[in-house]
Structure 1
């Protein structure tokens, strides 16, 4: 399975020409021997299958696989901290920690992308985060080059990713709960500010650690990926949630800013030739663009702070990166087409709005002219042939869809939002709820 993953990535880098499916099928042929029992090696094998499915459109259901992995972790007891005075050596304990937090971070990431419940609550485990050994710290301090030094850099970055997964878990548990479980007497705005400070502290700490443990040729890539994680969490914190269904303009400005920063950072990775078009990457890029659209559409304050030129540039950047991803993920093409149609509509509509128009979407008025008719004839045409063809419908289908890893499409906006965006119904406070149905 590891060879299949490596071959897939090398093919996309134009460095390898053999079919990675050969390795994949060989691994599957041996799977009965591996998955016949619950063990740490079998759990590690499941993680490899998850990683493979994240980069291969024909892979397995990552949501189900991640929960199977979490069940294995609990069954093995690696969610509990082991004592060095017992049956486990310090090396074995460190391995247990790393495997558990790999499962944990995947669960938090996939659950957030798909808007689904977390697999295992933070209150149900006490295993500690992995940590660098004294010998590894000494190598870092002395800047001693060795084969282990690169592993240290990877581990340092991974530990920061695990910490971010914990912060995402806090945000999800705090703001994305069923209304019946929310305490509306609580000041969620204050809680949001506290979590925002925690995210800022995480970013400062993680950046310093990566700078101190990596070589210059790795720093740009790893720090850029940390920034992408940070801005993703900022969007999750400030966008509409069950706890704060109607965030204020300042929160939406933060959300808009972080979404645009994510696109710019993905573009940095793309231009550097180190952007892997995985299922998560494609989801994140699409979500960033959709978030930008929402913030611009819903808030007059955001609209007044952005230019059509910069907005158009961001949409083109996302479309360009999705085009590259579409080479490996055919189902991305429909999502890209939907994104382009909606972005064109928003840009056309913004161009028709007088600068003095400060209409606020959330008070029951449409900021866009009621009689506006988009120039549909000049919109990009969909692919109309082949197995991945897009039906030439306009309002009959959900307008924004996100590509699922198994080729299915996840509804991002429902038909209510679609009609609002197309100017077919009067906006009201239910808009935010309709939008958020696509998140959680």
Structure 2
């Protein structure tokens, strides 16, 4: 449609409010069960989409929880809504995974409300502030674990949606553990977990691709790039993690990620540029790790204090993913340009390291980047059309 997703999201929210879908109108008011459930399903679809886009684009949510009656749909098959027998022989369970994802969007709201609040002095008309932010974080992590442990076991044909639930679980844990206004300096353990979850998500995307189940939409592309950049950030922010990470393992994971972005490039032309930038970032990180390991322990400790750990300045806004309406990436990465194409394939007879370094990396200092959101912001800027290119 050549329209900005944020623009469309707010039109959807406006339609929800104009139709009153945020209110719990039931059959007792004279509408049919079909109308009742469709109103509820459409509401939760827009509610979930709003949370997802707001998280990705680093913006506030558009429709607050307290403005809605958050009733959930019933776990009824479509045929049951119109009084027909289910042609597949089962009437329950089709909605179970969707309902479970709707529940996760409420946890997403809580994270947006608390972790991403910039002003901690809450006005009198707002909810009371969280007094112990670490206790709240632990409690929310426990909620996420409980949610993951109760993902419904449904018909095998819903395997893809179950996998999406798994990926959403990883992304929500990362969102909660990454730096945020509420927790600007996460623990080493938190960033180490983010690192592991990021590569786990990449392996899940790869599994879907190998099973010919990967849907090449913008959510998937964003998820792959988000996971890769988060992993690279964490390894640069935690020197201990860089020391114990095997280079071959890291290069394998990067190669897997780059391959997935290359495949996405067949569907999204802008992904080719993103792939090249991720490639250069990965090579720069590998080069940095090699230098780190050949440095004397005293110099390593000094470097960790000045270039990492505290080594990458924690920006309060990093917990969010920004919109594709971005800055020029060339300002952050001198030497990179949007015309770069996907690197040519290299002979499989070469070693992993030789293949990885077949195309030398561009020179830039990852440690100078203070806001990872800016990277995401710029990587996606080509996906947003310019207004003068939009045809009536």
Calculate the TM-score normalised by the size of structure 2: 0.74
Report the counterpart of residue 175 of structure 1 in structure 2. Answer: 115
Q: Which consecutive unaligned segments of at least 5 residues does structure 1 have?
A: 1-57, 138-143, 370-389, 401-417, 426-430
Query: By how many angstroms is 1:178 displaced?
Result: 2.0
> Structure 1 pair 264/184, CA: closer, same or farther in 2 (3 Å)?
same
Query: By how many angstroms is 1:308 displaced?
Result: 1.2
* Contact 1:79 1:125 survives alignment (8 Å): yes
Query: By how many angstroms is 1:154 displaced?
Result: 4.2
Distance (whole Å) between structure 1 residues aligned to residue 141 and residue 167 of structure 2: 15
Distance (whole Å) between structure 2 residues aligned to residue 361 and residue 437 of structure 1: 24
> Structure 1 pair 280/361, CA: closer, same or farther in 2 (3 Å)?
farther
Aligned length: 326
* Contact 1:178 1:242 survives alignment (8 Å): yes
Match status 1:119 vs 2:62: yes
Distance (whole Å) between structure 1 residues aligned to residue 177 and residue 116 of structure 2: 12
> Structure 1 pair 134/346, CA: closer, same or farther in 2 (3 Å)?
closer
> Structure 1 pair 340/153, CA: closer, same or farther in 2 (3 Å)?
farther
Query: By how many angstroms is 1:160 displaced?
Result: 1.3
Map 1:154-169 onto structure 2 (within 5 A). Answer: 154-169=94-109
Report the counterpart of residue 168 of structure 2 in structure 1. Answer: 229
Query: By how many angstroms is 1:435 displaced?
Result: 3.4
> Structure 1 pair 362/398, CA: closer, same or farther in 2 (3 Å)?
farther
Secondary structure of the structure 2 residue equivalent to 1:364:
helix
> Structure 1 pair 127/185, CA: closer, same or farther in 2 (3 Å)?
closer
Distance (whole Å) between structure 2 residues aligned to residue 82 and residue 146 of structure 1: 29
* Contact 1:78 1:100 survives alignment (8 Å): yes
Match status 1:312 vs 2:251: yes
1:395 to 328, 333, 338: 333
Distance (whole Å) between structure 2 residues aligned to residue 161 and residue 266 of structure 1: 18
Report the counterpart of residue 146 of structure 1 in structure 2. Answer: 87
Distance (whole Å) between structure 2 residues aligned to residue 391 and residue 249 of structure 1: 29
Report the counterpart of residue 227 of structure 2 in structure 1. Answer: 288
Distance (whole Å) between structure 1 residues aligned to residue 266 and residue 240 of structure 2: 38
Distance (whole Å) between structure 2 residues aligned to residue 157 and residue 127 of structure 1: 17
2:132 to 182, 187, 195: 187
Distance (whole Å) between structure 2 residues aligned to residue 321 and residue 134 of structure 1: 35
1:201 to 123, 126, 146: 146
> Structure 1 pair 258/437, CA: closer, same or farther in 2 (3 Å)?
same
* Contact 2:76 2:95 survives alignment (8 Å): no
Query: By how many angstroms is 1:89 displaced?
Result: 2.3
Distance (whole Å) between structure 2 residues aligned to residue 180 and residue 420 of structure 1: 36
Distance (whole Å) between structure 2 residues aligned to residue 124 and residue 421 of structure 1: 45
C-alpha distance after superposition, 1:216-246 (max 9, x if no partner)? x543x33322111100101100001111111
Q: Which consecutive unaligned segments of at least 5 residues does structure 2 have?
A: 123-127, 312-327, 339-361, 378-392
Calculate the TM-score normalised by the size of structure 1: 0.66
Higher relative contact order (CA 8 A, sep 6+): 2
C-alpha distance after superposition, 1:59-81 (max 9, x if no partner)? 42221111111111011111011
Q: CA RMSD in A?
A: 3.4
Query: By how many angstroms is 1:148 displaced?
Result: 6.6
